[in-house]
Structure 1
Amino acid sequence: MLLTISTTHSPATDLGFLLVKHPDRPQSVETTGGTAYVWYPEATPARCTVALLLDVDPVELARPSKGQRSPDNFSLGRYVNDRPYAASSLLTVALGKVFRSALKGASRDRPELVDVALPLEIEVSALPCRGGVKVVEQLFAPLGWAVTATPVPLDPAFPDWGDSRYVQLRLTGRRKLAEALNHLYVLLPVLDDAKHYWVSEDEVDKLLRAGEGWLAGHPVKELITRRYLANRRSLALSALERLQAASDELETTDEPEEVDESERKKPLVKLPTEAVLAALAESGAARVLDLGCGPGTLLLELMADRRYIEIVGADVSSASLRIAERRLKLDRLPERQRGRIKLVQSALTYHDDRLKGYDAAVLMEVIEHLDEVRLPALERAVFGHANPATVIVTTPNVEYNVRYEGLAHEHLRHDDHRFEWTRAQFAAWAARVAEAYGYDAHIRPVGDVDPEVGSPTQLAFFRKAA
């Protein structure tokens, strides 16, 4: 199995310093089931390419490790397979061993280059891909890569046979080398959807370490987590819980500028929750829907307030609902308390009779995760079909993004946001929806109001028209 990484950074041979592999000295490293070879097919100031070839011995790989018993039955598949030719978790093991310091983002000789985004081109000659080209794009495109995935035909001489499950992968983009290597480390075995070694709890630590800074916000993080952890449900849930906790902590400390402790503002992540709770109290609602509840941040607050006698958390993600269930400790609640809350899996763009007849519905930081073309379907399902007396919607104010250092003007606050609206756009949307479905709508700022760009988040309070 062959992997190449190229750059046109000037001088391009700096790649060797970052990888701690000299362009003039080919190297070999013993790794799981075979030998990894590293060399540079091209090394000039204009362009430099490093190649990693993993030569797998399937016979050696099939032998039991020390202390293990040999299998009772001979299986030809243990010896005749695609492991010597196709990228898999074995390649990520080799990456971790051969480019260990580069994965960690460390360079003794060129430390100033570690945080530089380099123009990179990565190619994998044969990559097994469960789910086809679409899955490759779902995994790499949100990370900023331009993706070219070319299906490999079963047999070029017989095109009618169609394509194999393998693709030739080419990624291009400007990234830090450590980021690129960690993307590969996590996503190559996800595409293969197989681990060629025993997966235990320490694999969760490896995943979170390699996914730091990008996995928590990836739009298909649940697929990545599940496949990386060999579809072991308990490990995947543990990883997702830790990702959510890390994400909450990151947002909690995400403030536009340094301030004195005496002047420190409330963390941004808490502002929508507090604003929603205040609006719910004002509405007088007792039976509440949390639509797009995610891992249960708002549900925890609702459960702590006895005025809410019936609470429903709805989300399309079953993994998020399982995390919410564990965070709420539903299995330990007294029967009376447990009867106050229900979790349901539901897509908010479809009519669901289970969501009808409630006093209030909350869409807290939800609508921006949908494509704008899907919003009319959500409006019909929530305002038309479920038709609660009160609807509370919060969403980021894109105008405020300029107050966040390091957030480029054209970038959104979260990798999974499909859009972010200005204050005028949000007000226009709320007015249109209110008129269409018989509500009165009032827009409120969430957080301190900047005289130039408004508040960081905005809230629409919909009440049934008298």
Structure 2
Amino acid sequence: MVGVLLTLTTTHRPATDLGHLLVKHPDRVQSFDVPVGTAHVFYPEADEQRCTAALLLDVDSLRLAGARRRGRGGPSATPETFNLGQYVNDRPYAASSLLASAMAKVFRSALRGESRERAELAATPIPLELRVPVLRCRGGAEVAVRVFAPLGWTVEATPIPLDEAYPEWGDSRYVDLRLTGVQRLADALNHLYVLLPVLDDAKHYWVAPDEVEKLLRAGAGWLAGHPERGLITRRYLAHQRALAGQALTQLAEERLTDEPLPADTVDDGSDTAAQGRPSLAARRRAAVLAALADSGASRVLDLGCGSGALLTALAGDRRYTEIVGTDVSSHALTLAARRLRLDRLPERQRNRINLWQSALTYRDDRLRGYDAAVLMEVIEHLDPPRLPALEDVVFGHARPGTVVVTTPNAEYNVRYDGLPAGRFRHADHRFEWTRAEFTAWAERVAGTYGYRLRLSGVGDEDPEVGSPTQLAVLTIDVPDPDHREPQLTPRKEERP
């Protein structure tokens, strides 16, 4: 059998959990009919220490030619046009949009980050190695590094010679691609789904306007902040200017409210490319998820949810029976809904998730009665005089059992080469606290509202300046719902 091959390997223990994430049993070979041939899933190795799943796409050249005719249409798409192309082309042997389309069908649940039996693992970054032995790469190995490295992958793109017997002929336009890193499986698969046709710079079907939505959906959470988003967008949309312009406009809007910060992106881009570690944003989410898991919460608020990076991870974990995301920006909530694919979720899952427009400086009775709330990279976006109002709303009025707060560590900013002295990591930040300032604030809030406090850092600990992100977990210490709430000085501010 000759076809297009992709392998996914993990050393997560037990490694055979990969079968649960892919919803494909390691003891069976499974075959799936796809428009251009047959896709086979099997496991060359599967034990507790190491597990590899393989997707082999067996392309039928005649069916491929038929798909091309149906996709393009029009008077020019005659059978004679494809007589030679049916038999002489590289599509059946090199990774391209054919493999991406097969992934979308065969690994549908995994691409969405869903796993009925391993929901928590589906939301957790795990060690992964992805390999595509033959990939057409327009622009050479350098382009593969440019698109994958900023996503946290260690990239090996080895050019394949035209003929090993004649090295003087040079290299072909194909590479043997190997990616290693610590990623959520869903993120890894979506990276491949978008970037395989980007590297090939061709698609086996006509690119219609609905391809914009496909790109934005698969690129949610990473494409808007990617340094090569222009290249990726143009190639994915087959260089159609109108479609690429539409996509880039929406990505620019998403970037205004998305979570990763410029300084974090600069720092993590080089760090992950060199050492294969997840980004600071991913490590921050993992730390918040761990704190929520430790709290035993099942009904959770994500306050200031932005475009929904954390909500997506929460939605993939069955322990959370009710998930609410709030934001003052209606546009951010629209992005979150798109990222969560709310319009495509089954009714039972859709009913677990609510998105509400709400300002954190005004009391909202809908926020009361929840087990836990998250303020992830939120407080620094408020003017300091408005912080007491937020404290009243969250800790006094809503009063969840646990509150998880993260914020930048201002002392760590000196480690960002691209950040001038005295500047904040993000243009919208109103302040950034040192460790002593954050500790003083968290201790005051805990004491005022009856919470126990635990402080820690997220990211690599620097012996001089600490970790890049500060984290506080406040757990309610006075369960009495009539606990006295501090009286705030009335404000003349108008509700936005």
1:103 to 103, 111, 129: 111
CA separation of 1:70 and 1:411: change in aligned 2, threshold 3 A: farther
Q: Displacement, 1:266?
A: 10
Q: Which residue of 2 aligns with 1:261?
A: 361
Contact 1:254–1:268 under 8 Å retained in 2: no
Correspondent of 1:43 among 46, 52, 70: 46
Work out which of the residue numbers 107, 123, 135 in structure 2 matches 1:115.
123
**Structure 1 stretches of 5 or more lacking a match?**
272-402, 428-443, 456-466
Q: What's the CA shift for 1:71?
A: 3.8
Q: Normalising by structure 2, what TM-score?
A: 0.55
Please list every run of 5 or more consecutive structure 2 residues that lacks an aligned counterpart in the other structure. 262-303, 307-325, 328-358, 364-374, 384-403, 439-496
Is 1:59 aligned to 2:59, yes or no?
A: no
* Corresponding residue SS for 1:24: coil
Q: Name the residue aligned to 1:343.
A: none
**1:165 matches 2:173:** yes
Answer yes or no: is the 8 Å Cα contact 2:32–2:106 preserved in 1.
Answer: yes
Q: Distance in 2 between matches of 1:407 and 1:229?
A: 37
Deviation at 1:115, TM superposition (A): 1.0
What is the aligned partner in structure 1 of residue 6 from structure 2?
3
d(CA) in 2 for partners of 1:410, 1:60:
60
TM superposition shift of 1:171: 0.4
Measure how far apart 1:407 and its partner are: 6.7
SS of the counterpart of 1:35?
Answer: strand
User: Partner amino acid for 2:419?
Assistant: E
Distance 1:73 1:14, change over 3 A: closer
Distance 1:59 1:406 in 2: 57
Q: Secondary structure at the match of 2:160?
A: strand
Letter in 2 for 1:38: V
Distance 1:113 1:75 in 2: 48
Letter in 2 for 1:91: L
Q: 1:453 Cα deviation (Å)?
A: 8.2
What corresponds to 1:77 in structure 2?
A: 85
- Could you tell me whether the CA contact under 8 Å between 2:41 and 2:55 is conserved in 1? yes
Q: Which residue of 2 aligns with 1:147?
A: 155
Return the alpha-carbon distance in structure 1 between the equivalents of residues 194 and 412 of structure 2.
Answer: 24
- Tell me which residue corresponds to 2:23: 20
Deviation, structure 1 residue 165: 0.3
Partner of 1:156: 164
> What is the letter of the counterpart of residue 239 of structure 1?
A
Q: Tell whether the 8 Å contact from 2:408 to 2:432 is kept in structure 1 after alignment.
A: no
> What is aligned with 2:406?
405
What one-letter code is carried by the residue in structure 2 that aligns with 1:117? P
Q: Aligned pair 1:232/2:231, yes or no?
A: no
Secondary structure of the structure 2 residue equivalent to 1:219? coil
Check whether the contact 1:4–1:122 (CA below 8 A) recurs between aligned residues: yes
- The answer to whether the Cα contact below 8 Å between 1:37 and 1:53 also exists between their aligned partners in 2 is yes
Cα distance between partner residues in 2 of 1:410 and 1:188? 40
Offset at residue 269 of structure 1 (A): 7.9
Measure how far apart 1:249 and its partner are: 3.1
Aligned counterparts of 2:211 and 2:133: Cα–Cα separation in 1 = 26
Distance 1:121 1:411 in 2: 31
> Equivalents in 2 of 1:112, 1:84: separation in Å?
37
Distance 1:124 1:406 in 2: 39
Give the structure 1 partner of residue 482 of structure 2. Answer: none
Deviations for 1:223-271, whole angstroms, at most 9, x for unmatched residues? Answer: 000000011110001111111122223369579x998424999997899
Amino acid at match of 2:150: P
Residue 218 (structure 2) pairs with residue 210 (structure 1):
yes
Amino acid at match of 2:237: L
CA distance in 1, matches of 2:437, 2:229: 32
Q: How far is the alpha carbon of 1:57 from its aligned partner?
A: 1.0
Q: Which amino acid aligns with 1:22?
A: H
Q: Deviations over 1:271-324 (max 9, x none)?
A: 9xxxxxxxxxxxxxxxxxxxxxxxxxxxxxxxxxxxxxxxxxxxxxxxxxxxxx
Q: Secondary structure at the match of 1:191?
A: helix
Change (3 A) 1:225 1:122: same
Query: Within 5 Å, which residues of 2 pair with 1:288-307?
Result: none
Is 1:92 aligned to residue 100 of structure 2? yes
The two structures have a TM-score, normalised by structure 1, of 0.58
What amino acid does structure 1 have at the position aligned with 2:165? A
Please list the CA deviations of residues 168-214 of structure 1 after superposition, one character each: whole Å capped at 9, or x if unmatched. Answer: 00000000000000000000000000010011111111100000000
Q: Which amino acid aligns with 1:235?
A: L
The total of aligned residue pairs comes to 302
User: Quick one: which amino acid aligns to residue 58 of structure 2?
Assistant: D
Q: What are the equivalent positions in structure 2 for 1:55-454 lying under 5 Å apart?
A: 55-63=58-66, 64-65=69-70, 70-250=78-258, 253=304, 260-262=360-362, 405=406, 419-423=418-422, 447-448=430-431, 450=433
Task: Report the counterpart of residue 363 of structure 1 in structure 2.
Answer: none
Determine the C-alpha separation between the residues in 1 that align with 2:250 and 2:205: 23
Q: Which has the larger radius of gyration?
A: 1
Counterpart of 2:266 in structure 1 is none
* C-alpha distance 404-193 of structure 1, shift in aligned 2 (>3 A): farther
Question: Residues 376-417 of structure 1, C-alpha deviation per residue, up to 9 Å, x if partnerless?
Answer: xxxxxxxxxxxxxxxxxxxxxxxxxxx9728799999xxxx9
Give the SS at the match of 1:65.
helix
- Once residues 126 and 20 of structure 2 are traced to their aligned partners in structure 1, the CA distance between those partners, rounded to angstroms, is 13
CA distance in 2 between counterparts of 1:216 and 1:14 reads 31
> Quick check: 1:203–1:229 contact (8 Å CA) kept in 2?
yes
Q: Are the aligned partners of 2:409 and 2:432 in contact in 1 as well (CA < 8 Å)?
A: no
Distance change (3 Å), C-alpha of 1:418 and 1:229: farther
Counterparts of 2:205 and 2:96, CA distance in 1: 11
TM-aligned CA distance change 1:202 to 1:74, over 3 Å:
closer
Question: How many angstroms apart in 1 are the aligned matches of 2:428 and 2:252?
Answer: 26
| Distance in 1 of aligned mates of 2:155 and 2:409 | 23
CA contact (8 A) 1:25 1:39 kept: yes
Alpha-carbon distance in 1 for matches of 2:46, 2:208:
40
Structure 1 residues 83 and 66: CA distance shift in structure 2, 3 A? closer
From the superposition, tell whether residues 83 and 446 of structure 1 become closer, same or farther in structure 2 (CA, over 3 Å): closer
Distance 1:245 1:445 in 2: 15
Q: Tell me if structure 2 keeps the 8 A contact 1:62–1:79.
A: no
